[in-house]
Structure 1
Amino acid sequence: MRKQYHILNGDSLKEQFPEIIQGEIIVARECLVDGNVNGNSLPDLFKVRAEFISNNYDGYKEQDYFEKTVPEFQKIQNIPDNVDINLWFEDDLFCQVNFWFVINLLIKSNHNNQLFLIRPESHSQYGFGGLLKSELISIFESRLKLTELHDLSLLWVCYQTNDTEKLIETSKRLKNLYPFIDIAVEAHIERTPKNGNMGRPSQSLVKIIEELNTAEFGPIFKEFCKREQIYGFGDLQVKRLLDEINNNR
């Protein structure tokens, strides 16, 4: 078997990763689904992301981004040729945007490697976190070899440049092979405010607040994750949305 590299979407999966699965582990520590992703180059993007996260996520400094996030992406760029690269990403929009970025990064690095996608057999709010180690081993053994890499890479370009029309067009081309991408793109489109109305996640939060008749974050967050699992938002993303809603009232 060729040498294996595993790119994981977050540290929580790293903590539960089965020791029996051999290979180098790289963690994509980002939430590109949230905030500014502009940048004409990778260093520009990293600078923009470091500024955004440090300004919006309490307890996270720009230096943290360059010490904890950037080195992992540099590891991706430095993966050698003739290896298998296993991408552990779920179907929700949070995971998908990171997945598109990683694919783009790999394509730009001109690797002569085989790429595989590992994802839970069924989409749920728990994702990989809801699987036993034996189940993680099972989905690794049934991994999907990725094709149409140019279009997968193009998804990130369209997302970054906010080219909605081309993003939809590309996801439709990939729909037969990767139907979950089309669903994630639809969810992304629906979070954009239109005709004076809030986007889908914010509308959902307002409805949840009214139905639960509470301003307590815990129950609101739990219900949002159940109803809008397609977004894959963590507590930080939902809290930002709630703050925006409250500020606009």
Structure 2
Amino acid sequence: MSYLHVLNGDATLTLFKQSGLPGDVVICREMMCEGKAKYTKDLITFFESRAKHLEFQYGIDKQTYHIHVMQELEKIDHFGPTADEIILWFEYDLFCQINMLFILHYIISRLEIIPPISIVDLPHHRQAEDLPGLFEKRVKLQSEDLTMAADVWDAWCLDTPVVLETISKLSTGNLVHIPAALQAHLKRFPDITTGLSIIENYFLLRLMLGNYRWYDLYMLFWGELEIYGFSNFQLDILINRMVRSGVIEEQDQMLKITSLGREILGEEENYLDYISMEHRWLGGVRLANTPWRWDSSIEGLVAIII
């Protein structure tokens, strides 16, 4: 059997090599849950838009993106047509699940003949010796699963989150973690009262209890909101935005909440009055233009007049 394994990030590669599993390997080095995802069926157009946005908003050089992301994914074009099976190794969190959807979109878009595709339900904590057993328990995707994946990816790139909210309440076949990941994603929309995303709200609530070093705060986040699977890079960007907006300040390498942060938590002020959303995107939704807000009282999105 000829296998093509798609791993989410380089961290899994070392364990995979130690596992002794046969097959070619492709590394997905994207973070599709972060930033703009243009709605288009043309992958070249998509990557051009994505690279431009990541360079402007996140400081990721276009050439670096081309070499480390696009050229790596092009291995799917080379190995995919001759593979007897493509196996996707992704965890249950939002970061991994959206990357997995994109990889499925890439395979469907690029390969004329699609070999059988399986997914490994990869736990967050694992050792190299665990991988062969996980490989044996992989789940083969059916045609309806591929259709669902394509529909969810399209919905991710739309300029409205309404379709994603609908999908988050449905059964998604063998893509069992998609609903929970989408529900976590929707809570990233600004709160209807405070303007805070669930992650910004979490950080302020934690800092209400005391000051923290950056990494210690991240460790708490990773333990309590593991569903997001965010990297240091993403959290650094978010915290820096909060510092610039004046809701958090840093003193002697310690983060602390400001009086403005306390007022926002107390619903006396709104976070959106103090931070620019001009180039902020959640998938295909440009936050500066969207009327959609998260309402925790109904656990759903509502539209406001803007």
Greater Rg over alpha carbons, structure = 2
5 Å-filtered alignment, 1:36-51, equals 36-38=36-38, 40=40, 41-51=42-52
Pair 1:52-2:53 in alignment? yes
Whole-Å separation in 2 of the counterparts to 1:136 and 1:217? 32
The CA deviation at 1:231 is: 0.5
User: Mind listing any 5+ residue stretches in structure 2 that lack a counterpart?
Assistant: 247-306
Pair 1:132-2:124 in alignment? no
Residue 63 of structure 2 corresponds to 63
Whole-Å separation in 1 of the counterparts to 2:135 and 2:127? 13
Q: Contact conserved, 1:155 with 1:170, CA < 8 A, in 2?
A: yes
Aligned residues: 239
Residue 90 of structure 1 corresponds to 91
SS in structure 1 of the partner of residue 216 of structure 2: helix
More helix by share: 1
- TM-score, normalised to structure 2, is 0.73
- TM-score, normalised to structure 1, is 0.88
Q: Contact conserved, 1:38 with 1:48, CA < 8 A, in 2?
A: yes
Q: Contact conserved, 2:19 with 2:132, CA < 8 A, in 1?
A: no
Distance 1:86 1:236, change over 3 A: same
Q: What amino acid is aligned across from residue 131 of structure 2 in structure 1?
A: L
Q: What amino acid is aligned across from residue 188 of structure 1 in structure 2?
A: H
Residue 244 of structure 1 corresponds to 241
Q: Contact conserved, 1:184 with 1:230, CA < 8 A, in 2?
A: yes
Q: Contact conserved, 1:151 with 1:174, CA < 8 A, in 2?
A: no
Whole-Å separation in 2 of the counterparts to 1:92 and 1:232? 5
Whole-Å separation in 2 of the counterparts to 1:162 and 1:227? 30
User: Mind listing any 5+ residue stretches in structure 1 that lack a counterpart?
Assistant: none
Whole-Å separation in 1 of the counterparts to 2:116 and 2:166? 25
Q: What amino acid is aligned across from residue 139 of structure 2 in structure 1?
A: L
Distance 1:187 1:177, change over 3 A: same
Whole-Å separation in 2 of the counterparts to 1:87 and 1:95? 10
Residue 142 of structure 1 corresponds to 137
Whole-Å separation in 2 of the counterparts to 1:82 and 1:62? 30
Q: Contact conserved, 2:105 with 2:150, CA < 8 A, in 1?
A: yes
The CA deviation at 1:74 is: 1.7
5 Å-filtered alignment, 1:157-236, equals 157-175=154-172, 177-196=174-193, 197-214=195-212, 216-236=213-233
Whole-Å separation in 2 of the counterparts to 1:176 and 1:195? 32
Q: Contact conserved, 2:155 with 2:164, CA < 8 A, in 1?
A: yes
